[in-house]
């Protein structure tokens, strides 16, 4: 099962990087959302994927059973979900505001600091 999750996480990372290298802001946002999900799945699979033994320390023992799932990555995932969702919402509002001002979602057309009618800087000395 861990092998399947490893392949799935790799596919998610590849798709996220492909989308984040796009020129359009909407694709970049989708890539960031998929990247957040890939990180969450990576954290989840690092804590062992078992359902047979709950992550409870039995009475009279000091440590968790070796076959039990580790509860720490699961707790980290809950925090990561909240952080990635709030980051995505912030980027969504920022993108919407940029689209309202510039009337485009193409990053090459958003270069306000570099007007198109200006001459190019010298390429050599």
Architecture of domain 2-54+68-102: Orthogonal Bundle (1.10)
What span, in angstroms and rounded, lies between the C-alpha atoms of 78 and 59?
27
**What is the per-residue pLDDT for 70?**
73
Q: What is the dihedral of CA 101, 102, 108, 114, to 10 degrees?
A: -80
Q: Give tens-digit pLDDT for 13-27.
A: 999 999 999 999 999
Locate the domains of the chain by residue range: 2-54+68-102
Q: Give tens-digit pLDDT for 71-99.
A: 788 788 899 999 999 999 999 999 999 99
Q: What pTM did the predictor assign?
A: 0.75
């Amino acid at each position: 099962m861990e092998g399947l999750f490893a392949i799935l996480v790799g596919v998610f990372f590849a798709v996220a990087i492909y989308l984040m290298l796009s020129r359009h802001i909407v694709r970049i946002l989708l890539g960031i959302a998929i990247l957040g999900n890939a990180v969450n799945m990576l954290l989840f699979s690092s804590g062992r994927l078992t359902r047979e033994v709950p992550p409870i320390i039995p009475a009279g023992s000091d440590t968790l059973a070796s076959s039990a799932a580790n509860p720490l990555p699961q707790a980290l995932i809950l925090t990561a979900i909240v952080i990635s969702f709030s980051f995505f919402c912030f980027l969504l509002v920022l993108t919407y505001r940029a689209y309202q001002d510039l009337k485009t979602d193409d990053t090459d057309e958003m270069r306000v600091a570099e007007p198109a009618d200006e001459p190019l800087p010298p390429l050599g000395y």
